[in-house]
A and B are shown apart, each in its own frame.
Chain A
């Protein structure tokens, strides 16, 4: 018997018509101003970017910030640019900006897949990539694609900047390795290079949070997996890389039965929970199917 544990009520039962919390409100125009405000208010402050996660959480009283720092008007943080073998994405780039970016489509195909599938047009007009990552949901759709593109996070505070591999950026559900006075300013991802990438997810309807998701980067010269990176969403307390499986599939033939069997190792690498969206058992199973599909799609993009 599978015991179904339904998570605690969040929004249901709350009045979502109003924001039940009063806060001080700041609208910095420069990054420096924003960082100074973060220094001053630290943990009592929350950064407002798109608002599609934060305001829902405040309505549900999951967070009750005393100070809101609206960074939407901070200049110069919404961009997607090429930099040699890298793509640099400003933290305030909205999902719709990424969807419309030829650079993302060409060099980060898995991320393009992900943003196309995220929310509605209205949500994508509001939500930012920085917000999606800082919210640190295990189901954040932008995370697995960025993980397979070896992305790094550029984090700033008044005392300077530091670069953190995205894998170390996520700590647990809702938790990042950023300090309260720090802000994510840029995401630096590697271009596809010799390989290609793809992202697959399963959800009840397309605007829903993922039941499970998988992003794959593959270099498959001559029909054999030369290099592979796999990242998974919604199957662990944070988005994860599946390094053991990656090493197992190197050298295997694409579309082969051996490759399909090797993906069984994913079961050992994930630690999914049962919640309202799915059971742990189903997640363990479906993540293998999603990875298989993502490998094939990425390879088809490569040979096309």
Chain B
């Protein structure tokens, strides 16, 4: 067992973990943060996308010991009190079907809008290509993200 401490959504977490414990399982089964989804487990579907020290990574291919001392943000940390404008836009555009991939799309969209506040459709496709939606509702997802980007930039003036 290894003692690790890291921040999850702003709160310090201290745990004893085996070196082979995956971040996705620590989040889902020990911290009960089930918004991060298990899909393929081999880095193809992107359902387990979380942000570590500001960069999106895959929790199914990250050892929990490896985030020792670092800062993890999950979907729960992105919308603590109320829905974000990305989430609202996803609802308005009918971009949620079964909803399983939605948390990962929100995490990646927030990262996109941070890096590129006024993304083109190509930017949206590039940043979101690592999240798979098996209901294949991509068009509405792209529309929603562009809509959220637009409303944010108008808000900023």
- On A, residues with C-beta under 8 Å from B are 11, 15-19, 21-25, 27, 48, 51-52, 55-56, 59, 68, 70, 72, 96, 119-123, 125-126, 206-207
Task: Please name all residues of chain B whose beta carbon is closer than 8 Å to the beta carbon of A48 when the two chains form the complex.
Answer: 63
The dominant DSSP class at the B interface is mixed
B60 → chain A closest CB, angstroms: 7
A13 to B53, CA, bound (A): 33
Q: Are B49 and A122 in contact (CB under 8 A)?
A: yes
Task: Please name all residues of chain B whose beta carbon is closer than 8 Å to the beta carbon of A207 when the two chains form the complex.
Answer: 44, 129-130
A207 to B58, CA, bound (A): 15
Partner of B127, one of A24, A51, A121: A121
- If the complex has contacts A72-B66, A120-B129, are A17 and B56 also in contact, measured as CB distance less than 8 A? no
- If the complex has contacts A122-B57, A122-B58, A206-B129, are A23 and B19 also in contact, measured as CB distance less than 8 A? yes
Closest-by-CB residue of B relative to A120 is B130
Q: Are B20 and A23 in contact (CB under 8 A)?
A: yes
Task: Please name all residues of chain B whose beta carbon is closer than 8 Å to the beta carbon of A123 when the two chains form the complex.
Answer: 43, 58, 130
Q: Are B43 and A24 in contact (CB under 8 A)?
A: no
Partner of A52, one of B18, B43, B129: B43
**Among B5-13, B34-42, B75-83, B133-141, which stretch is in contact with chain A?**
B34-42
A258 to B49, CA, bound (A): 50
A35 to B128, CA, bound (A): 38
- On B, residues with C-beta under 8 Å from A are 2, 18-22, 24-25, 38, 40-44, 46, 49, 55-58, 60-63, 65-66, 108, 111, 126-127, 129-131
Closest-by-CB residue of A relative to B24 is A17
9 contacts between A and B (CB under 8 A): A23-B20, A51-B62, A51-B63, A55-B61, A56-B43, A119-B130, A121-B127, A122-B43, A122-B49
Q: Which of B24, B56, B58 has the most CB of A within 10 A?
A: B58
Q: Are A125 and B20 in contact (CB under 8 A)?
A: no
- If the complex has contacts A18-B25, A19-B20, A70-B63, are A121 and B126 also in contact, measured as CB distance less than 8 A? yes
Closest-by-CB residue of A relative to B65 is A25
- If the complex has contacts A23-B20, A25-B19, are A120 and B46 also in contact, measured as CB distance less than 8 A? yes
A25 to B65, CA, bound (A): 9
A14 → chain B closest CB, angstroms: 9
Task: Please name all residues of chain B whose beta carbon is closer than 8 Å to the beta carbon of A19 when the two chains form the complex.
Answer: 20-22, 63
> Which are the 6 A-B pairs with shortest beta-carbon distances?
A120-B130, A16-B41, A25-B19, A19-B20, A125-B55, A56-B42
Q: Which of B46, B49, B130 has the most CB of A within 10 A?
A: B130
Task: Please name all residues of chain A whose beta carbon is closer than 8 Å to the beta carbon of B20 when the two chains form the complex.
Answer: 18-19, 21-23
Closest-by-CB residue of A relative to B68 is A27
Q: Are B61 and A51 in contact (CB under 8 A)?
A: yes
- If the complex has contacts A17-B25, A24-B19, A206-B129, are A126 and B61 also in contact, measured as CB distance less than 8 A? yes
A22 → chain B closest CB, angstroms: 6
Partner of B40, one of A16, A96, A120: A16
A207 to B20, CA, bound (A): 27
A2 to B117, CA, bound (A): 50
B8 → chain A closest CB, angstroms: 18
Task: Please name all residues of chain A whose beta carbon is closer than 8 Å to the beta carbon of B65 when the two chains form the complex.
Answer: 25, 27, 70
A234 to B40, CA, bound (A): 24
A16 to B44, CA, bound (A): 12
Partner of B61, one of A21, A56, A68: A56
